[in-house]
Amino acid sequence: MANKPAQLLTIEPANELKFMGPFCTAVSSFMRLTNPTDHNILFKIKTTAPKKYCVRPNCGLLEPKSTIEITIILQPFIFDATEKNKHKFMVQSMIMPEGDVSPEQLWKDVSPDELMDSKLRCVFELPVDNQSSATSAQGTGLPVSSAAVSQSMSATPNRNESGLASMEPQHAGNLNNDEEKLSDSRLVQELKKLREAESELRHENLLLKERILRMRMDADNIDKEAQQQSLSSGSSGIGSSLAAGSGSSGAAAAAQYQNLYSPPQLANQQQIPIMFVVAAIAMAVFGLILGKFVL
């Protein structure tokens, strides 16, 4: 088996990452990486307890002769001095090949034997006052964790790009929670106001609809009464007019009615005497002529 290549990056600190308690709040430690070579070097940081730490940045590219500072945040936890600490960090690195190459694909394709890596262990330390209280708690037989930590802790871990657990400081989280609560309460109040306004508008809409229906019903009743009155007055007027009209029309019909076989009244009455006169004259003339021939 081939030996692993030596680490080209300069790591500070080289062996231990110290975290100073108390650990009832988030605690930060720092790591500095330096690239003393003339090559571009890719790096990635891993830990054996990814749910308890946030590493920023957890990977990246170091150009030649450049330095980067890594922030490592330890989440709050119940510290027990008697418990053995097994948390460790590992810095992996490799030389970036020339050309257009994707770093993500390089990390997937590279063999573990080709990576340069360095390991650091985590060390937890307490201030002098907390250490004395921890030793006094041990003397009284109480658990060290209850004597060392007197505050309740709550934190929600997030995930960064490498899958390591991450979290913000507790005071920032509290501020964010307060802002979210205020915004939620304001939204709830605005929703209540909008619902009340909506119910009022619906009630007014119903009242308007009832008024419109009543007005329509009143208008229909008025129209019906007017029609009934006009029908009653019209029927009486029509009856009288029909009676008068029937009398006059009857007289006119009687006056106009004539027998087709009866002689005309006016013209014929005027023509009858004339015809008689003409006939008498004709007969007289005929008699005179006849008398002349006889004589």
**CB 50 within 8 Å of CB 60:** no
Count of CB atoms within 10 A of residue 27's CB? 19
- Pairwise CA distance, residues 91 & 11, whole Å: 9
Confidence of residue 164 (pLDDT cuts 50, 70, 90): very low
Both tokens of 196, joined, read 């009340």
Provide the β-strand partners of residue 91. 45, 118
What's the pLDDT band for 250 if we cut at 50, 70, 90? low
How confident is the model over 187-191, as a mean pLDDT? 79
Q: Find all residues with CB under 8 Å of 247, minimum gap 6, and list them.
A: none
pLDDT score, position 207: 83
* Degrees to nearest 5, angle at CA 182 with 176 and 188: 135
> Structural domains in the chain?
10-167 (2.60.40.10)
Inform me whether the pLDDT recorded for 94 exceeds 90: yes
pLDDT at 102 > cutoff 70:
yes
Question: How many Å from the N-terminal Cα to the C-terminal Cα in the chain?
Answer: 193
Residue 22, preceding peptide bond in cis (omega within 30° of 0): yes
Residue, of 274 and 194, whose pLDDT is higher:
194
How does pLDDT run across 260-269, given as a tens digit for each residue?
A: 555 555 545 5
Quote the CA–CA distance of 65 and 33 in Å, as a whole number: 11
Amino acid in position 47: T
69 neighbors 30 (Cβ within 8 angstroms): yes
- Considering only the C-alpha atoms of the chain, give the largest distance between any 2 of them, rounded to a whole number of Å: 203
Instruction: Name the band, by pLDDT with cuts 50, 70 and 90, for residue 161.
Output: very low
pLDDT given for residue 242 in this prediction: 53
Alpha-helical regions (H) of the chain: 103-109, 128-140, 144-148, 170-256, 266-294
Q: What local confidence, expressed as pLDDT, does residue 280 receive?
A: 81
- Give pLDDT, residue 225: 83
Give the torsion through C-alpha atoms of 122, 127, 128, 133, to 10 deg: -90
